[in-house]
């Protein structure tokens, strides 16, 4: 195990003050694996350390709120007659800038898992996208076109393969997003009130199961990567982009919903950002317990993986399930029915620790609550918003009516899409971002019409 130097600490995105905080939590120096664990869990992507103080200003309670935003994997709202909807939106910006197809596809896969982890059946997805200008012959325009095509294809691919429709979305173009798109994906599912599942490790002595795709080196430390500034050097981070398998996720979806209906589950958590690290420490923290796992038992698709790589991998289509003791055989039967890799990898204990073993050796031992919920919070300076005076604002051109296209691809300069991935797509010509003027489609004719 290499010595922890200031250079290694900085490479993990840990500031000197944050490292001193880690020393106080542990009462000792962390090893390299523990430093990696802190780096992903205290990244902006997982901890929201730079934005949480602002996000707390939003309302999260109400008479119909069953699960608050930020409380679990998704929020849940009562819609009457014993029914509820679970929904969530999240971004996959940096991965999509590096590898647009897989970055967008795995963003869709991740948000779908958040929904069925709550016990809901996903019924539709949506998206909100931002790109740089795709017009012209410049190298930047060509890059923006490549990103645009890759993201749209990735979203359509994952949704079509898993069978969850993308019913709508929006796309805007502006030079500020050149080479660095925003890819926000949304999913909604439906469930009965009594079907709401929780991501908490409850019940000391309950077994901890891993289920889903085998762990590989794809997506390694992806949460930390997604929290860093995107630069030219980020091209070297291509291995940090996850690779999705929507067909495996379809099996996982059905298996998890059957598993939740069986009454065998004490807690369930998606292995999304920060992978196995996040799922173990967050379930322990929510349950007020500890979780101990052995990485030697984790299903792997590559040989020679270290605890660091296994814990920080963000291989897709994986779940951590806390099973009620004595129900192990039922759980195994469900996993085998759906032809999913699985393993009994650990146990819930009462010491509040996230403990990771590699056989008889302890690789990680960190207090779960302080790791998952007590990242440092920062109040960042913000420049005052300055609106242009009416006299200096550019005049908005008359909006171009929408065009309706069927079974054909519109000219590349037509910039508005409903993002559905279907054969019929709505497009309009561009307007300056400051105007965003639109007129609604007047018909569903298959032929393009102009006014």
Catalytic residues: 45, 92
Structural contact between residues 286 and 201, judged by C-beta atoms closer than 8 angstroms: yes
Task: Quote the distance between the C-alpha of residue 190 and its chain's center.
Answer: 20
Strand partners, 346: 208, 293
Dist. CA 406–CA 329, nearest whole Å: 51
Label each residue of the chain as H, E or C: CCCCCHHHHHHCCCCHHHHHHHHHHHCCCCCHHHHHHHHHHCCHHHHCCCCHHHHCCCCCCCCCEEECCCCCCCEEEEEECCEEEEEEEEECHHHHHHCHHHHHHHHHHHHHHHHHHCCCEEEEEEEEEEECCCCCCCHHHHHHHHHHHHHHHHHHHHHHHHCCCEEEEEEEECHHHCCCCEEEEEEEEEEEHHHCCCCCCCCCCCEEEEEECCECCCCCCHHHHHHCCCCHHHHHHHHHCCCCCHHHHHHHHHHHHHHHHCCCEEEEEECCCCHHHHHHHHHHHHHCCEEEEEHHHCCECCCCCCHHHHHHCCCCCEEEEEECCCCHHHHHHHHHHCCCCEEEEEEEECCCEEEEEECCEEEEEEEHHHHHHCCCCCCCCCCCCCCCCCCCCCCCCCCCCCEEEECCCCCCCECCCCCCCCCEEEECECCCCCCCCCCCCCCCCCCCCCC
Dist. CA 144–CA 427, nearest whole Å: 18
* Number of other CB atoms surrounding residue 140 within 10 Å: 14
Structural contact between residues 76 and 218, judged by C-beta atoms closer than 8 angstroms: no
CA angle 21, 24, 30 (to 5 degrees): 85
**Distances from the Cα of 305 to the Cαs of 41, 310, 311, 313, 450, in angstroms?**
20, 6, 10, 10, 59
* Number of other CB atoms surrounding residue 131 within 10 Å: 26
């Amino acid at each position: 195990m290499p010595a922890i130097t200031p250079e290694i600490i900085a490479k993990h995105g840990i500031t000197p003050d944050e490292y001193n905080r880690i020393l106080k939590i542990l009462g000792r120096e962390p090893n390299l694996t523990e430093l990696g664990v802190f780096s992903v869990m205290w990244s902006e992507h997982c901890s929201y350390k730079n934005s949480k103080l602002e996000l707390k200003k939003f309302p999260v309670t109400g008479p119909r709120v069953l699960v608050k935003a930020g409380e679990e994997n998704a929020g849940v709202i009562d819609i009457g007659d014993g029914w509820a909807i679970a929904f969530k939106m999240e971004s996959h910006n940096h991965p999509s800038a590096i590898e647009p197809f897989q970055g967008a596809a795995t963003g869709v896969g991740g948000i779908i898992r958040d929904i069925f982890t709550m016990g809901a059946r996903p019924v539709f997805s949506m998206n909100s996208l931002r790109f740089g200008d795709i017009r012209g012959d410049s190298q930047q325009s060509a890059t923006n076109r490549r990103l645009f095509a890759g993201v749209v294809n990735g979203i359509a691919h994952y949704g079509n393969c898993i069978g969850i429709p993308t019913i709508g979305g929006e796309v805007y173009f502006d030079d500020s997003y050149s080479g660095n798109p925003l890819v926000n994906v949304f999913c909604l599912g439906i469930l009965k009130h009594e079907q709401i599942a929780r991501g908490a490790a409850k019940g000391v002595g309950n077994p901890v199961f891993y289920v889903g795709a085998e762990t590989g080196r794809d997506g390694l430390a992806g949460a930390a990567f997604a929290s860093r500034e995107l630069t030219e050097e980020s091209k070297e981070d291509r291995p940090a982009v996850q690779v999705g398998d929507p067909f495996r996720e379809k099996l996982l979806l059905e298996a998890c919903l059957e598993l939740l209906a069986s009454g065998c589950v004490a807690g369930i958590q998606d292995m999304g950002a920060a992978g196995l690290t996040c799922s173990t420490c967050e379930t322990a923290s929510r349950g007020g317990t500890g979780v101990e796992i052995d990485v030697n038992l984790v299903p792997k698709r590559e040989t020679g993986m270290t605890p660091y790589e296994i814990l920080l991998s963000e291989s897709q289509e994986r779940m951590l399930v806390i099973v009620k003791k004595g129900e192990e055989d039922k759980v195994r039967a469900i996993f085998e029915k759906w032809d999913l890799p699985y393993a009994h990898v650990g146990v819930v204990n009462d010491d509040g620790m996230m403990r990771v073993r590699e056989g008889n050796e302890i690789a990680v031992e960190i207090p779960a609550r302080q790791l998952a919920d007590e990242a440092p919070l920062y109040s960042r300076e913000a420049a005052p918003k300055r609106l242009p005076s009416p006299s200096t604002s550019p005049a908005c051109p008359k909006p171009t009516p929408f065009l309706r296209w069927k079974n054909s691809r519109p000219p590349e300069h037509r910039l508005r899409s409903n993002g559905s991935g279907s054969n019929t797509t709505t497009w309009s010509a561009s307007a300056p971002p400051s105007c965003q003027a639109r007129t609604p489609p007047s018909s569903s004719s298959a032929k393009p019409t102009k006014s």
